[in-house]
Structure 1
Amino acid sequence: MAKTPETAKIAKTTLLAGGNPQIAKGEGDASVQAYIAAMPGWKSEVGRRLDTLIVRTVPGVHKAVKWNSPFYGIEGQGWFLSFHCFTNYVKVAFFRGTPLRPAPPVESKSQDTRYIHIHEGGPLDEVQLAAWVKQASELPGEKM
Structure 2
Amino acid sequence: MAGAGKTPVLLSGGNPQIAKGDGDAPVQAYIEAMPGWKSDLGRRLDELIVRTTPDLKKAVRWNSPFYAVDGKGWFLSFHVFTRFVKVTFLQGRSLNPLPPGGTARSGEARWIDLHEADMLDEEQMAAWIRQAAALPGWVP
- TM bin (shorter chain): over 0.9
The SS at the match of 2:111 is strand
Number of the residue aligned with 1:97: 92
Instruction: Calculate the TM-score normalised by the size of structure 2.
Output: 0.94
Unaligned runs of 5+ in 2: none
The one-letter amino acid paired with 1:39 is M
Number of the residue aligned with 1:119: 115
Once the two structures are superposed, what CA deviation does each residue of 1:11-31 show, in whole Å capped at 9, x if it has no partner? Answer: 2x1000000000000000001
The one-letter amino acid paired with 1:27 is D
Question: What is the Cα deviation at residue 76 of structure 1?
Answer: 2.0
Unaligned runs of 5+ in 1: none
Number of the residue aligned with 1:46: 41
Number of the residue aligned with 1:106: 101
Question: What is the Cα deviation at residue 60 of structure 1?
Answer: 2.8
Q: Distance in 1 between matches of 2:43 and 2:55?
A: 17
Q: Is the 2:58–2:68 Cα contact (8 Å) retained in structure 1?
A: yes
Once the two structures are superposed, what CA deviation does each residue of 1:53-83 show, in whole Å capped at 9, x if it has no partner? Answer: 0000003310000000000001221100000
Query: Which structure 1 residue ranges, 4+ long, deviate > 6 Å from structure 2?
Result: none
The SS at the match of 1:106 is coil
Aligned length: 137
The one-letter amino acid paired with 2:125 is L
- Out of 46, 50, 53, the residue aligned to residue 55 of structure 1 is 50
Q: Distance in 2 between matches of 1:60 and 1:75?
A: 6
Quick check: 1:76 aligned with 2:58? Answer: no
Number of the residue aligned with 2:136: 140
Quick check: 1:25 aligned with 2:14? Answer: no
Tell me the C-alpha RMSD between the 2 structures: 1.2
